[in-house]
């Protein structure tokens, strides 16, 4: 092949390649335009649908706003009517308020006068109460002083009676001892044992059913009881003392002194706790009405 043929063949090949390039470019461009056109058409349809939906929503909102506007107009009309009524009522209320204010001013004047009167009355009442309180305190102090003096008088009287009873008992003992001394002198001492037995004899055993009560406490460790010689008591006899109320309480023992009479006696109190009487609690001291009984048959089963 000549050089010219080769050149022409090369040019034909180049032209074919150019034609193929433009053919492919044309196809691609056409294909892209159709895709874009389809996309534009779909977007247009969607935009139209959105526009129609927005238009319907706007129409509904317009209808709702119109309804609300009509309702507000009706409400405004009602409020205007109410305002007019309230204005009339307010004017009437102002007139009534002025009237009440005048009445209140007059009432305030009366209240001030009443307050001044009450203040003077309360001041006088306070002075009266203070005087009454002072008089009541003085009366209570006088009553307490009277009761204290009465207790002291009774204690002194009881002490006098006790001393008198002890003196009488000592007188009887002196008479008994004098008689025993005379007997000893007459017998020349041969009856000494008999005399000692007479002086130091053991008290006769008490009956099991013996029972009495405390009449009163005399002084110190001594109490006055309601049984005596008729019940079998004699000097030196021992009894239980207990309290039956409050669940029962054993207080201690009583030892009969020389002051024993037919229907009553004086006894020395010996506490159950074994401490001095001055150290006992008030509920451990004998009281009027407490029970005394035989030492072997107390309420707590003591033997």
Who's near 212: CB < 8 A, 6+ residues apart? Answer: 225, 226, 227, 231, 239, 291, 292, 293
pTM strictly above 0.85: no
- Convert the pLDDT of each residue in 63-115 to its tens digit: 999 999 999 999 999 999 888 889 888 888 888 888 888 888 888 888 888 88
Q: Using CA atoms, how far apart are residues 36 and 42, in angstroms rounded to an integer? A: 10
pLDDT at 213: 94
Instruction: Tell me what pLDDT residue 302 has.
Output: 46
pLDDT for 301: 44
Q: b or e along 159-191 (b: 16 or more beta carbons within 10 Å of the residue's beta carbon)?
A: eeebeebeeebeeeeeeeeeebeeeeeeeeeee
Phi first, then psi, for residue 228 (nearest 5°) are -150, -135
Q: What is the DSSP letter of 202?
A: P
Low-confidence ranges of the chain (pLDDT < 50): 195-196, 200, 297-303
Which of 218, 231, 229 lies closest to 286 in space, CA to CA? 218
Strand partners, 213: 291
DSSP 286: -
Query: In the prediction, which pLDDT does 252 show?
Result: 93
Q: List the domains of the chain with CATH numbers.
A: 205-294 (2.40.10.170)
Residue 298's pLDDT is: 45
Q: What's the confidence (pLDDT) of residue 214?
A: 93
Q: How far apart are CA 267 and CA 236, in angstroms?
A: 9
Q: Which residues pair with 270 in a beta bridge?
A: 253
With contact defined as beta carbons under 8 Å apart, do 210 and 239 qualify? yes
Rg (CA), the chain: 65
So what's the pLDDT on residue 34? 75
203 with 236: CB under 8 angstroms? yes
Helix, strand, coil abundance in the chain, percent, nearest 5: 65, 15, 20
Name which of 257, 253, 213 is nearest 233 in CA terms. 257
Give the C-alpha separation, 191 to 177, whole Å: 14
Furthest-apart CA atoms within the chain: distance in Å: 210
Gap between the Cα atoms of 134 and 239, Å rounded: 51
């Amino acid at each position: 092949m000549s050089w010219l043929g080769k050149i022409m063949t090369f040019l034909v090949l180049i032209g074919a390649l150019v034609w193929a390039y433009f053919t492919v470019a044309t196809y691609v461009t056409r294909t892209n335009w159709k895709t874009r056109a389809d996309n534009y058409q779909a977007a247009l349809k969607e935009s139209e649908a959105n526009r129609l939906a927005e238009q319907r929503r706007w129409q509904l909102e317009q209808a709702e706003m119109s309804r609300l506007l009509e309702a507000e107009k009706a409400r405004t009309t009602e409020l205007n009517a109410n305002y007019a009524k309230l204005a009339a009522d307010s004017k009437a209320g102002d007139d009534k308020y002025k009237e009440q204010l005048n009445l209140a001013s007059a009432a305030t004047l009366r209240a001030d006068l009443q307050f001044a009167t009450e203040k003077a009355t309360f001041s006088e009442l306070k002075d009266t109460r203070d005087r009454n309180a002072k008089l009541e305190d003085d009366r209570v102090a006088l009553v307490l002083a009277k009761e204290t003096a009465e207790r002291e008088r009774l204690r002194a009287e009881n002490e006098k009676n006790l001393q008198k009873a002890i003196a009488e008992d000592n007188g009887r003992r002196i008479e008994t001892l004098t008689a025993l001394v005379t007997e000893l002198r007459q017998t020349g001492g041969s009856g000494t044992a008999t005399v000692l037995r007479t002086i130091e004899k053991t008290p006769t055993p008490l009956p099991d059913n013996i029972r009495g009560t405390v009449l009163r406490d005399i002084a110190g460790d001594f109490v006055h009881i309601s049984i005596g010689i008729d019940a079998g008591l004699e000097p030196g006899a021992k009894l239980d003392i207990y309290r039956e109320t409050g669940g029962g309480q054993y207080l201690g023992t009583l030892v009969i002194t020389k002051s024993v009479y037919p229907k009553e006696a004086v006894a020395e109190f010996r506490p159950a706790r074994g401490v001095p009487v001055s150290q006992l609690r008030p509920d451990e001291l004998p009281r009027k009405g407490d029970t005394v009984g035989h030492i072997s048959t107390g309420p707590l089963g003591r033997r």
